[in-house]
Amino acid sequence: MKSEKTLQINDFGAGSKMFASNKKLVSEIAKSSLSSVSKCRILFNLVLNFKCKNILELGTSLGISSSYLASTGESNHVYTLEGDTTIAELAKSTHQSLGLKNIEVYTGKFIDTLPDILNTMERVDFVFLDGHHQEQATLDYLELVMQKCHEHSIIIVDDIYWSEGMSKALEKSKKT
């Protein structure tokens, strides 16, 4: 929040309701795009209480929610995906500064990186889908991750009221 850095970033998602240009202050991203402390605590407690080991996050941004997820235990592993290389580098430095060694940040479009990452994962216990808030994209990512989920896996989809399409995606995914 205190950073005065400006980043030139790409929009990989459904566009932003906050930003008109691709030049963004880190402090603005921190204020508008990140999960709140209370949400991060819910994620943290879910992972801890349900003993989730293999954690997948779509949408790293500055690395805040992934830091909470990784803080659940050194033997847990967090795989987090981010499209923008500049943002991904900032996330890596956040993780480093917190001494978190159990997070891997994968850079690229979700649709390009996700299949390969899932291939390396035996199972997925916890998913936090927090990026690219479009109906069909959300359904496509859910279909992919569910191939590695089991009956106790937890899937969290953020921003379901962001658009009508997102609410539709949630309703459709409940039926699968």
Ligand X SMILES: C[S@@+](CC[C@H](N)C(=O)[O-])C[C@H]1O[C@@H](n2cnc3c(N)ncnc32)[C@H](O)[C@@H]1O
Binding residues for ligand X, per CB under 6 A?
12-13, 33-35, 59, 61, 64-65, 81-84, 87, 109-110, 130-132
Q: How many CB atoms lie within 10 A of CB 118?
A: 16
Question: Which residue, 52 or 81, is less far from ligand X as judged by CB?
Answer: 81
CB of 90 to ligand X, least distance (A): 10
Smallest Cα–Cα separation from 14: which of 172, 164, 171? 164
CB of 139 to ligand X, least distance (A): 14
Question: Which residue, 20 or 122, is less far from ligand X as judged by CB?
Answer: 20
Question: Which residue, 169 or 175, is less far from ligand X as judged by CB?
Answer: 169
First to last CA, the chain: 39
Burial (0-12, 13-18, 19+ Cβ within 10 Å), 48: middle
Question: Which residue, 37 or 152, is less far from ligand X as judged by CB?
Answer: 37
CB of 30 to ligand X, least distance (A): 9
CB of 36 to ligand X, least distance (A): 8
Q: What span, in angstroms and rounded, lies between the C-alpha atoms of 35 and 151?
A: 26
Q: What span, in angstroms and rounded, lies between the C-alpha atoms of 138 and 108?
A: 17
